[in-house]
Structure formats: C-alpha cells, structure tokens
Amino acid sequence: MIDQKVQLLRGIGLTELEARLYITLIRESEATGYRLSQLLNKPVANIYKALDSMARKGAILCESSEKTRRYSPLPIKDYLNQLESQFKQRRSRIEYELESLEARTGAVGIFQLKELEQVYQAAHTIMENANAILLVDAYPESLSRIADALASKAATGTDIYLKCYTRVDIPGVHIISPNAGLYGKVNLEYEWFTLVSDNHEHLSSLIKPKAGRVEQSVWVRSPFLNMVKYSGMAHDFVLNLMSENLQGATSIKQLQEDVGTWTARLMHNTYVKDTLAYLFDHA
C-alpha cells in the first residue's frame, strides 16, 4: 500500500524519496532531518537535499530554531489546491504564448491514441471543432462521458446524430437506438466509440473502459479519409433509422419519404457537397 501511495505522489511531481518523506511526515510530524534519515535509512545529506526541494515545491513547512529545523507536511488537500492553482496559471500563460504560433494541431495525419483519457479528450476536441454536423456511435460507458458535451454542442445549432445502445434522451440530439434494450442483458467487455465531424476529422476506437484500457484508437484528420468514414456511417444511420420506423410507417410511401428526408440531411448536406468539390478540385 505504501508503494501505491508513493506512485500517486510521484504522479503530482514528487520524486520517490520526496514521496516517502511526505508519507513519513504525515505519520511523524515535526521531525528533524536526522530523525527522517533514521526512519528511512537514507544518508542525511540526501534527506536534507530532498527536504529543501519539497520546501521549494510547497509540499512541507519548516520550523527553524537556534539549534534545529523541524519539518511538517502541508495538508494534502492544501497542497493539491496549490498545485491546481499553479497549473491554471501556467496553462493560461502557455495558451497565451503559443496560440499565435503558425503550427496547429489541426494538421493532416493519422494519430494513434494509447490512453483512455486521450481518447475522451480527442472526442471532446472533435465535438468542439464540429461546424454543422456530427455523427456519433457510442456504447453506454463512453456515452456517459460525452452526453453533457453533446447536449451543449447541439444547443449551438450543430446537427448531431447519435447511434447508441441504451435508451437515452439528450436535448437537441437525433437518437438512433437499435436493440436499445439488449445492451444490459449482454456482458460486453469491449466498446466501440466513433465520432465523425464535418471538420474533416474522426475518431475510431475499440476500448475496454471498465479496465481503463485502449485496444486500438486512431484520430484521423484528412478530408478524403473523413469523407469515406462519414459516408459509411451516414448510410449505416439511414438503414438503422429505416429499420426503427418500419413498424410505425403507415405506408410504403411514408417510409420512402422518411428515408428521403434522412438521406437529404445526412448525405446531401453542405459538408458533403463542399468536401466532394474540394476533393475533385485537388485530385
């Protein structure tokens, strides 16, 4: 358990020795450097060097007297609040300094994502960058991570079509839910998670969310490849919409009209026309 706590503290910027010192100080506050060296069985010089570093980072407090110095840990909540504040300040400065650079992350390319949080961050970026239309195919675990963002994006006027596998209601989002009641009856270890936007980018992922693992995920930025992906998803969505409405249609004519409406929205929109024109011009 100690090693797990050490790893967590290393994740917020402490070295291994600093992390062990912090944990030791929680148990034995107001300890001297000499006492800490005995407890951790480390050279005194190394202990004082680490304590000085921790003091500069703001992780500990030092009480000095004429003969000795005693150290106490800053409460972990206070230390984390301090780190969060520092990060926000650095983030604002970095964004300000770098936003004027010509190099943008929107360059054409195929990027592999290895971490689950990278996948969800990419999904949020794609949603933010979408202009008029966004297609999403998401299983319940992944959908729960983006549902609020989908509602917010739909409120801006973006036309969003969501294919999902559980019964949901997201304001402003067109819901396609084939076999919605089946998901809870089947124990699926893996989930597909796909987004395609009209900003020439898409995300395709096979993930294991409960285990926090990514089996495969690519973030693609390319007008051509995105058009191919968009076309496939759009036709799939039309077929699913047609299947959902077969029982409710009063006539073949009504079904044909509905299919025509969905096809027009998904396949004959401005994004498709402009992208095809761009691709033909640059062929």
**pLDDT, tens only, 227-242:** 999 999 998 888 887 7
Number of domain units in the chain: 2
Q: In sequence order, what are the beta bridge partners of 110?
A: 220
Let me know if residue 228 belongs to a domain: yes
Enclosing H/E stretch for 64: strand 60-64
Last residue of a domain, one of 26, 59, 77: 77
Percent of the chain, pLDDT > 90? 51
| 133 and 9 inside one domain | no
50/169 same-domain check: no
Give domain status of residue 87, yes or no.
Answer: no
85: in domain: no
The pLDDT value recorded for residue 237 is: 87
Structure confidence at residue 187 as a pLDDT band (50, 70, 90): low
**Is the same domain home to 159 and 63?**
no
Domain identity same for 195 and 239: yes
Domain at 18, CATH number: 1.10.10.10
Check whether residue 48 and residue 160 sit in a common domain. Answer: no
Q: Is 218 contained in some domain?
A: yes
What is the pLDDT, as a whole number, of residue 105? Answer: 47
CA atoms within 13 A on the CB side of 122: 26
Condensed to tens digits (0 to 9), the pLDDT of residues 38-73 reads: 999 999 999 999 999 999 999 999 887 767 889 999
| Same domain flag for 121 and 234 | yes
For the residues 131-154, what does the mean pLDDT come to?
93
pLDDT at residue 1, as a whole number: 61
The residue from 56, 77, 98 where one domain ends is 77
- pLDDT: is 149 or 247 the higher one? 149
What is the percentage of the chain residues whose pLDDT exceeds 70?
89
For residue 42, with 0-12 CB atoms within 10 Å meaning exposed, 13-18 middle and 19 or more buried, which class applies?
middle
Q: Residue range 139-146: average pLDDT? A: 91
Residue 83 lies in a domain: no
Asked if pLDDT for residue 143 goes beyond 70, the answer is yes
Looking at the predicted structure, is the pLDDT value of residue 189 above 90? no
d(CA 17, CA 20): 5
Q: Tell me if 116 sits within 8 A of 207, measured CB to CB.
A: yes
CATH classification of the domain holding 246: 3.30.870.10
- What's the domain range around 10? 2-77
Q: Is residue 96 part of a domain?
A: no
Confidence class for position 154, pLDDT limits 50, 70, 90: very high
**Is residue 56, in this structure, part of any structural domain at all?**
yes
Q: Is the pLDDT of residue 28 over 70?
A: yes
Same domain? For 34 and 145 the reply is no
Question: Quick one: 134 and 69 in the same domain?
Answer: no
Taking only the tens place, the pLDDT of each residue in 1-21 is: 668 899 999 999 999 999 999
Same domain, 113 and 70: no
HSE of 44, CA atoms in CB hemisphere, 13 A:
4
The pLDDT value given to residue 128? 93
Choose between 20 and 278: higher pLDDT.
20
Residue 97 lies in a domain: no
In the listed set 58, 77, 96, which residue is the last one of a domain according to the structure? 77
User: DSSP secondary-structure letter at 74?
Assistant: P
173-176: strand order across its sheet? 109-112, 213-221, 201-208, 191-197, 133-138, 159-164, 173-176
- Take residue 149 and report the two structure tokens written for it: 């963002």
More confident residue, 258 or 111: 111
Alpha helix (H) ranges present in the chain?
2-10, 16-27, 33-40, 44-57, 76-98, 116-129, 140-155, 223-245, 252-267, 270-281
Interval 191-214: pLDDT, tens: 899 999 998 999 999 998 888 889
